[in-house]
Amino acid sequence: MSAGEHEESYRKVSSEIRALPLDTTMDPGFVHKRKVQTILGESGMKVVDELIAKLPDLPDWQRAVRIDHVYKDVFLTFCEIYKIKSLEEALATKGGHLISSVEKLAPCPEVYDSPRAVSRWIPRGSPDEAVEFHYSTGLIASDTLRTRLHSGSTISIVAEYSHRTSSALVFDPILMGFPWVRTSDPAWADKVMWFGNQFFENYVEDFEEFAKVRAIARPRDISTMASISEHAFKLALCEILGDEPKSDWGGETSDHFTDHLHLEGRRVSGAFVLKGPARFKPMGLNHLGKNNNQIVRLHNEPADVLFVQHCHEILADVRSTLRAFAVQPSRARRYCLIDGWDSLRLLEAYGLTEKALAWSK
């Protein structure tokens, strides 16, 4: 199934299923225990030791796997507490010595026959920096991970910045493994992995406050959105949500923040980046500031859901970049893109199109 077909298949999934309560982790095939111990320190390792002491008697191979999971669980909790950045965020902000990300790595031919290996990052956009992950192949405990590193694959990775060469930034992996999505809903516990980290994407109609959108067909023509200003769309959004519109200012991290959203009865908060028709054309990453700084600021909001709205089409590189910022092994959040078609559906569903046109004059 191609990426486009996968997106289309996911859109056909019901809102109820897309709203399932979810958690992310990884299936670790690489655990650098010495580095984990150094970073966690005495207090963190006390937790690790207590959890290992509680393990039942097991065959040696099973015990080794369980210990790897203990190290992984405690270290991902550490990353969550300290809000460790994704790779894109670290590059964009030029800050942080640890990263926690789901990234695509290029094929690494030497992973089978060399004591040291280098996996190169395949970026989603055109970053200023190349990134390499240097590691000891002796720490790879999973044959499946070794095979995927050899052929190239999407990997969950927690790593520490090491140094800069003439051609790349070098990171030392601490944890590597496969992204794993979990849900507390037993009916879907064995099914959510089929959608991977895409399962954290929601569509505008999934939110109870926007549910009337379901009755509005996708419009053939979105030229009306060319005449609706960013400010007017924000006023319409606030009217739907019952929010008080706030004035924009230079230090804001989002264009609107709300606590008045619900997903399948669960109250969630949302932070929005809104893009009007100053450039009425498809949105690429160049719409979102140098080094994706608008997504960086959005990501820094303490919101459960990150929204990007645009008056026209939203291109795949924006979706994949927002997903990379939102979905981390240690701190996954939901994200939603509202393109010009869904923006117009939202206005039509709540009878606000004419008001928005009037507010835009």
At residue 8, the pLDDT reads: 64
Is the separation of the CB atoms in 271 and 256 below 8 Å?
A: yes
pLDDT tens digit sequence for 2-59: 445 556 667 777 788 788 888 888 999 999 999 999 999 999 999 999 999 999 999 9
**What's the confidence (pLDDT) of residue 190?**
67
Give the pLDDT confidence score for residue 2 in this predicted structure: 44
Q: How many CB atoms neighbour CB 74 within 10 A?
A: 18
Token pair listed for 343: 């923006």
pLDDT digits (tens, 9 = 90+) for 44-53: 999 999 999 9
The candidate with the shortest Cα–Cα distance to 94, out of 44, 141, 164, is 164
- CA Rg value for the chain: 22
Overall average pLDDT of the 236-243 stretch? 96
Phi-psi region of 83 (alpha: psi -120 to 50; beta: other; left: phi over 0): left
pLDDT band at 304 (very low <50, low <70, confident <90, very high): very high
Which positions ≥6 away from 277 have C-beta within 8 Å? 225, 226, 227, 228, 229, 230, 311, 312
Residue 81 and residue 77: Cα distance in Å, rounded?
A: 6
User: Residue 84, Cβ neighbours under 10 Å: how many?
Assistant: 23
Residues sharing a CB contact under 8 Å with residue 64, sequence separation 6 or more, in sequence order: 141
* Mean pLDDT along residues 304-328: 90
Domains and CATH numbers, the chain: 22-183 (2.40.50), 192-360 (3.40.1350)
Give the model's confidence band at 1: pLDDT under 50 very low, under 70 low, under 90 confident, else very high: very low
Share of the chain above pLDDT 70, in %: 92
Task: Give the number of C-alpha atoms closer than 13 A to the C-alpha of residue 23, restricted to the C-beta side.
Answer: 11
The alpha carbon of 296 is separated from its chain's Cα centroid by a whole number of angstroms, namely 12
Which pLDDT tens digit goes with each residue over 93-147?
888 899 999 999 999 999 999 999 999 999 876 778 899 999 999 999 999 999 9
pLDDT of residue 37: 97
User: How far, in whole angstroms, is CA 227 from its chain's centroid?
Assistant: 32
The yes-or-no verdict on residue 215 having pLDDT over 60 is yes
Mean pLDDT of the chain: 90
Q: How far apart are the first and last CA of the chain?
A: 46
Task: Give me the amino acid identity at 188.
Answer: W
Q: For residue range 265-286, what is the model confidence (pLDDT) as tens digits?
A: 999 999 999 999 988 999 998 8
